[in-house]
Structure 1
Amino acid sequence: MSNASPGAPLDSSNDPAFDQTGRIVIQPNGRPRPLSPHLQVWRWHVTMLASILTRITGSALYGATALIVLWLGAMAFGPEAYATFVALAGSPVGLLVWFGLTVCLMYHFAAGIRHLVWDAGAGLTPKSADLASHLSIWFGVLASIAFWIVLFATGKVSL
């Protein structure tokens, strides 16, 4: 009796007992499934990087939300708590964290616009998708640098 799914042709390629390639795995529920291709199979594209960066920056923005909640909490707990928060946020390490979160925010914003364009059915050719991915990455970095240059130049932030 074969482990092939109903409707599949009954041949040895569907039976994990005859698999000599190592590409069939048995799931915990007992069903045979083909092993998914891994990163070694795929050639890296900037669109893959952009997709991964979108997930990473989206997750990092949860951290930014937590910092904003801490900031609001520090304001609620009085002048000493607020002064402590401002001292930590204004330290070199704190400024580095804020800069990183700015890059995350700017990139995630640009990636969201890229996805809106794609959802409208435009920019889906490989060349235009690569260009949009490059632009969103560069926008995130350059817009963040420009933003922080303005902050330092106007005296809003200092070391």
Structure 2
Amino acid sequence: MDPLKRFGKQAIFVYLLAWFIGSLWMMAVLGSGSVQGKLLGIDVSLYHEYACFGFAGALGGALYGLRMFHEHYHDLTPQWMYWYFMRPILCFGSAIITIILFESGIMLLQVGDSMSARISIAFLTGYGYGKFMEKIKALTTTFFNGNGTTGGNGNGNGNGSGSEPPKS
């Protein structure tokens, strides 16, 4: 019997549910301030906010994954198993980076400086990870290649490849 059909769907469901519940629990633990000192050589008090943002992103990613799992239960293939397993992890990291981009001023959004506003942005980043990656791609294109109106895109010769002349 195919292991995907036998245990794969149950494993994905339990995995996503663990990320969902675990993220909520870790946000509560970090918010309570009960974790002090160093954990794996990292001073928790310095990075507990960023860990909260990461877990908020993972929460959003796990929620979206559970929704997609429910909607596409019968369409599950081995290729999609990797998507389900990677989503909370990728959303964890992208949520932290989103907050850093907002704090640095590179990405602009009119939200308050409160912790709940930043956690909300981190959650939305996790839930809308695909849209976030599209925005990051557009941001890097604009940032490193210009906005396309001047004919140059960052490498000094007017185009990105160096193999054709600039368009007039």
**TM more than 0.5:** no
- Structure scoring higher RCO (CA < 8 A, sep ≥ 6) equals 2
- TM interval, shorter chain, is 0.3 to 0.5
Larger radius of gyration between Structure 1 and Structure 2: 1
